[in-house]
Amino acid sequence: MKLMQNLNPSMESDNESVKAVETEVVIYATIGNPEGLNEATSKEEHVQLEAKFTKEGGRSRVRKVVKDDDVDYIYTIKFKQKEESDQASASVEHNVEVDEDFFEAFKAVAERALKKTRYIFNSESVTLKLQNGDEEQDIEIPNVQYEVDIYTKADGSVSEWCKIDVEIDNIINYIAKHHKDLEGWKLKVKVSHLPFKPSECILGSEAHSDENEKKVDDIWATWTLGPDNV
């Protein structure tokens, strides 16, 4: 992934609506050590209802998020800004807190539903590799966050596959500030150190190949539920 510039994350509050700009890398992987998920910094239960807009690239969702004893309902409009590199893309989200009645009403227009447990891992220090042609260099990056989603399949079992989202805005900004000489190098995102031992990794952008596209489509098919089944 070629390092990007001028991608500072932003949060803007306007009444109850919040705008967020995020750049992330998506990785699909199998779970080699389920017990390692217990080492997550935090954990949330999500029920997600989704619907698409007629304009390509835009979609909306409502999530029920349960964390400890707290339950939140969040409505989101999301669309991609543009493909920022060969591995990552930047998206804009508008989020607003809603209530249970809104969540239930949204089921009438939802196209699909997802049930998942989100495990959040905050790595205090990760050694990542940067590459420029034949030259490579390892650098330590502080505070890298990994969001690991484990989905419930239509038959009620837990999927052996997970989706890992790596937020890279902080990584980009850290390199721009502390390693200016490395801007423009390609970054290799690392997940092998995570305690649940992810394997068979498929980088989201690589799903464009015929073989990986079919595999990712098959994975999503097992995760997709009918709105009335959640």
Q: Which of 1-5, 84-88, 223-227 has the highest mean pLDDT?
A: 223-227
For residue 12, pLDDT over 60 is answered with: no
pLDDT band of 3, cuts 50, 70, 90 = very low
Q: What is the mean pLDDT of the chain?
A: 84
pLDDT value at position 43?
97
For residue 183, pLDDT over 80 is answered with: no
pLDDT value at position 58?
73
CA distance 93 to 113: 19
pLDDT value at position 2?
43
pLDDT value at position 206?
55
Residue range 107-149, pLDDT digits in tens: 999 999 999 999 999 988 888 888 888 888 888 998 899 999 9
Rounded to an integer, the average pLDDT of 196-220 is 84
Rounded to an integer, the average pLDDT of 36-56 is 91
Residue 100, class by beta-carbon neighbours within 10 Å (0-12 exposed, 13-18 middle, 19+ buried)? exposed
DSSP 2: B
Residue 179, class by beta-carbon neighbours within 10 Å (0-12 exposed, 13-18 middle, 19+ buried)? middle
Positive or negative CA dihedral for 21, 79, 120, 15?
Answer: positive
Instruction: Tell me the CATH number of domain 11-225, given options 1.10.287, 2.60.120, 3.30.1450, 2.40.320.
Output: 2.40.320
> What is the pTM for the complete model shown?
0.84
